[in-house]
Structure 1
Amino acid sequence: MPGALIPSPEFPGWHRWCVGDPGGFNQAVLGEMLARLDDDVTARVRLTPAPHHANLNGLIHGGALMAFIDTAMFAGATLLTGRAHQNGVTVDAQIQFLAPGKLDRPLDALVERTHETGRLLFIRGMLVQGEDRVASFTGLLRKIG
């Protein structure tokens, strides 16, 4: 696995997505994320919501959902391609909120790579909590390095 994915001893079959400094945005704001391949075309990236992810209504804040989607696209792309993409940048992201995210359940991003060129990765996916769909998304990632 590329360097940003470290096998998780606590969760067999999962990898920890570790990018950047522990005090940097991904780890300080989003917290620990886990990732695994569900099959040949779908990567699953998991966030365990915490109280600091809440909005004023006690649900997952839309900004936290968007930040998680942005990060999950890179973790998913890394698993799906077998190449590190943590140094890439997001060129475009489209998000459709479908239902509120709840703080008491893991939040999973199901990530698919739909197309790839020499410099770009085209991504689509869905945020889910169990069978409940929270958001759908598409993204365009620029590969760097």
Structure 2
Amino acid sequence: MGGTVPRRRTGIVSRVTIAPDPNPATLSWAVRLLRAEAVALGLVAAWLIWADLTADTVDLTSALLVTGFAVAAAVGLWALGGALAARKAGARAPAIVLQLMLLPIGWYMIQGGLGWLGVPLMALGVGVSALLVSPPTTRALGLG
């Protein structure tokens, strides 16, 4: 009887295949770069706090606003990186907006003679935005 009896089906559930790449490289790199930006901006914020505390004369309101903006942006970038790592689709648009904000910042740095810093910042903004809108990232976030 070996092989002559039809094999019985063992249930109503069909086989499920898991995507071969559950975390695409584009999403992983976007998260890494967002977190790196958050760390870099956190270091700038720490320097601003030190400068605020050791300055001889300070316009306190302006100093606190600039420092607070740097701290908030660092925390926001870190949180967006975490949300994207957890595949929260709603985090993609704010992350892209923050990356596109690097374009005017980089442009004004170039105009001010800091092209060595402005050009890489602009490239970073465009690069991370491209990673966030790439098809593998879009599929991983359930948007496409």
User: How high is the TM-score relative to the length of structure 1?
Assistant: 0.28
Q: Relative to total residues, which structure has the larger strand share, 1 or 2? A: 1
Question: TM-score, normalized by length of structure 2?
Answer: 0.28
Q: Which has more radius of gyration?
A: 2
Indicate the structure with greater helix content.
2
Of structures 1 and 2, the one scoring higher in RCO (CA 8 A, sep 6+) is 2
